Structure 1
Amino acid sequence: MIFGRRKKNQETSSAAEAPVTGQDQDGQDQDGQVEAVEETPAVSGRAATGPFDVSEKETPEGYVDLGALRIAATENLQLRLEVEERTKRVIAVTLDINGSNLQLQAFAAPRSEGLWDEIRGQIAASVGSQGGTVEERAGEFGTELIAKLPAQTPDGRPGFRVARFVGVDGPRWFLRGVFGGPAAMDPQAAEPVERLFRNVVVVRGDHPLPPRELLQLRLPKDAAGKKQQPEEPKRLGDDPLRRGPEITHIG
């Protein structure tokens, strides 16, 4: 795995059946008493498939600890942290793998309701104000947005940039992912990137935070002492669809 910094303003097993001494097939003892059996509640939904809350999944060796986010280490994965220039605060992490990319940001959220429904509308309004279009669809992580913004290809032809926005509401947190490159449109290319997203573990913390406050990210401890090559600054509100390989020709 390669680290970089960017400045920025179930398989269920079954036990073999065997006779139980003193108990009939209906779960009763021979004297007629019913034996109480304690059942473990089944885990379903997001808590079963991810992304996960830190209380739902252990993160042993093989995870990269970025503070509020823990990322499963994967072959050919490059990880870039985006730093706000004014405050020097890490505000996003971008995962690059097999020519595709995934930007991640985690936010504090209300205990009783999620943020994704409201944020989808804001994304659509922002894309529309830039002359782009947004398609809402049902995807792997619930309702998703496919955003297209007009752009010019390197050879001067008209085209558009594509990004796939996904959002997941967890216990007092919201995780936003932006898929770029081939993973934005190609299901086969998206598979390893979706797997990365599902394996993300969010560490909300116990301290109170207002809704929409970014959860604190940091450089991994094992990489903190390494000299990092800064990348081109990128503002939080900049177009997340601008990467060259994402441009598609029109006509």
Structure 2
Amino acid sequence: MIFSRRSRAGRHARADEPRATATLSPAEKRRQQREAMLAELNLTDEFGDAPSAAPAVSVKAPEPVLDSGPYDFAEAPDGERVDLGSLLIPGIDGIEIRLQAGEDGAIQQIVLAHGSNALQLGAFAAPRSGGLWDEVRAEIRKSLFDDGVGAEETPGRWGMELRARLRTQNGFDDLRFIGIDGPRWMVRAVFQGPAAVDPALGGPLNECLAGLVVRRDDQARPTREALPLNLPAQAEVQGGPQPEEPAFEQVPRRKPSPRPRRD
């Protein structure tokens, strides 16, 4: 298992920073439009407060597989895991853990990579009543719909999923959004690569999501606030050139809602 850590400087600078060049090529314009759309999806922490206005799809949500995680820390089975604070990642050979940190050194994003697939993970505070993923899924779908991108709701291993295909300068990017509601927390997972089209191709990344453990503290937090993450003391962080990252790693953070709900 390999760790790599990145800041927001250089190639991963915020998408909303001004460009030095006055004239942009058509490819660069398309790239910026795509980044703006991904920023509107807000894949890093909050999802926004807009109600859903996308056409309704009458599909009954399936029941998640009961013998599979993510697990709450109090009920998790034994196993070797990498402790990142609120998330404990199963230790599986061949998985690269990419951590993106802010200027203050705090971890803001986790991406697991294996071959041509990537899996972004996030854990958020949720109300005791549950059901946050239904709200979030509708908001993501609306945001995609408003930008002219179709999104399909499909039943999957962890319940109702959302799938979308984004046009890029290099072709298409497929994304598969998954949400799992737990006791006062919600895990959001985003697959990119072949596993976004065919879940069976997820391989070890599926195992990581199935064995994931969420450790929610007792602190009162606004609904949808990202649960804190930290770098494990024993981790050896790689330096030097890094492989190209999934597109959703370049999404900037959005300011939190001025009136957050509390669970």
TM-score, normalised relative to structure 2: 0.68
Alignment-derived partner of residue 74 in structure 1: 92
Question: Hey, what's the Cα distance between the residues in 2 that align with 1:162 and 1:77?
Answer: 20
Cα deviation digits, residues 150-195 of structure 1 (max 9, x gap): 2222xxxxx3211000000000000000001111112331243222
Question: Hey, what's the Cα distance between the residues in 1 that align with 2:81 and 2:253?
Answer: 29
Deviation (angstroms), 1:196: 1.2
Q: Radius of gyration: which is bigger? A: 1
Q: Secondary structure at the match of 2:231?
A: coil
User: Is 1:4 aligned to 2:1, yes or no?
Assistant: no
Question: Hey, what's the Cα distance between the residues in 2 that align with 1:88 and 1:177?
Answer: 23
Aligned-pair identity (%): 41
Q: CA 1:47–1:53 in 2, change beyond 3 Å: closer, same or farther?
A: farther
Question: Hey, what's the Cα distance between the residues in 2 that align with 1:94 and 1:219?
Answer: 13
Letter of the aligned partner of 2:89 in structure 1? I
User: Is 1:194 aligned to 2:210, yes or no?
Assistant: no
> Displaced runs of 4+ in structure 1, greater than 4 A?
44-47, 226-233
Q: Secondary structure at the match of 1:82?
A: strand
Task: Compare the two structures and name the one with the higher helix fraction.
Answer: 2
Q: Secondary structure at the match of 1:110?
A: coil
Matches within 5 A, 1:114-129: 114-129=131-146
Deviation (angstroms), 1:235: 3.3
Checking the alignment, whether the CA contact within 8 Å between 1:81 and 1:93 is kept in structure 2 is: yes
User: Is 1:48 aligned to 2:67, yes or no?
Assistant: yes
Checking the alignment, whether the CA contact within 8 Å between 1:6 and 1:230 is kept in structure 2 is: no
Matches within 5 A, 1:105-116: 105-116=122-133
Q: CA 1:222–1:59 in 2, change beyond 3 Å: closer, same or farther?
A: farther
Deviation (angstroms), 1:128: 2.4
CA RMSD of aligned residues (A): 2.4
Deviation (angstroms), 1:234: 2.7
Q: Which ranges in structure 1 are unaligned for 5 or more consecutive residues?
A: 10-43, 154-158, 239-251
Deviation (angstroms), 1:126: 2.0
Alignment-derived partner of residue 83 in structure 1: 101
Q: CA 1:229–1:205 in 2, change beyond 3 Å: closer, same or farther?
A: farther
Alignment-derived partner of residue 92 in structure 1: 109
Alignment-derived partner of residue 130 in structure 1: 147
Deviation (angstroms), 1:92: 1.8
Q: CA 1:206–1:59 in 2, change beyond 3 Å: closer, same or farther?
A: farther
Alignment-derived partner of residue 178 in structure 1: 190
Aligned length, in residue pairs: 196
Letter of the aligned partner of 2:141 in structure 1? A
TM-score, normalised relative to structure 1: 0.71
Checking the alignment, whether the CA contact within 8 Å between 1:131 and 1:150 is kept in structure 2 is: no
Checking the alignment, whether the CA contact within 8 Å between 2:69 and 2:210 is kept in structure 1 is: yes
Checking the alignment, whether the CA contact within 8 Å between 2:64 and 2:158 is kept in structure 1 is: no
Letter of the aligned partner of 1:179 in structure 2? F
Q: CA 1:135–1:237 in 2, change beyond 3 Å: closer, same or farther?
A: farther
Task: Compare the two structures and name the one with the higher strand fraction.
Answer: 1
Q: Secondary structure at the match of 1:212?
A: coil
